[in-house]
Amino acid sequence: MRAIARFGPEVSTEQIADEAGVARTRIYKHFADTADLQRAIALRAAEMIGAQFSPLWGVSGTPREMVHATIGAHIEWLSEHRALYQYLMRQSVTGPRDVVADVKTAIARQLTVLFEYYLGLFGADQRVGETIAYGLVGLVESSTAHWLDTPRGIDRDDLRQLLARWVWSILDDTLRTVGVVLNPDSPLSDLDYRVLERP
């Protein structure tokens, strides 16, 4: 991980060995080949991302706070591990395993559980939860990745605010279509919503 942070996403096995303080040949005592080393790096990165997001699944508070916390964690991780993220993207194209897709799927599955829970609580159709979850993960990940390469004068907090507003708009629209109006500033433990007349 240190070698990727130091040398960037095109880091060589030799640079990884140098950073670890071992000869390149000793690296292969622990890994079958370069692909095996890349898989190990990808798995470690997936663990790091999982650890970053794990506390968020038990977050309580207002919908706005929950959205901001989740998006903030994502932006923070990508910003702090930009070279690693770019390395993973390169490996997802050339390697046997797409760890970026795996991580996005894991996050989307967690969000699906959360969305389906609340949709069920509101008496709404839970089937849309999965589609919304995957769509929102794609929106946030793609926007953040593009911002890292081309910030265009938008700072980190501006990006978080923009994405949070867009995500809330999608969630709010989805809830309204099933007859639920939710106050984004009212804690979910103290639900502040009204069921509208269904057509």
Question: What's the pLDDT tens digit per position in 42-56?
Answer: 888 878 887 887 777
Which amino acid does the sequence have at 73? A
Largest CA distance in the chain: 71
Return residue ranges of the chain for CATH 1.10.357.10: 42-179
**C-alpha closest to that of 170 among 74, 67, 73:** 67
Where does the pLDDT of residue 158 fall: very low under 50, low under 70, confident under 90, or very high at 90 and above?
very high
Rounded-to-integer distance, Cα 63 and Cα 189, Å: 10
DSSP output for 62-110: -HHHHHHHHHHHHHHHHHHTHHHHHHHHHHHHHSS--HHHHHHHHHHHH
Q: Which band of pLDDT confidence, cut at 50, 70 and 90, is reported for residue 29?
A: confident
Angle at CA of residue 88, ends 50 and 151, nearest 5°: 90
Query: Domain 42-179 class?
Result: mainly alpha
The model's pTM is 0.80
pLDDT band at 194 (very low <50, low <70, confident <90, very high): very low
**Nearest-angstrom CA–CA distance, 28 and 151:** 39
Distance CA 108, CA 125 (A): 18
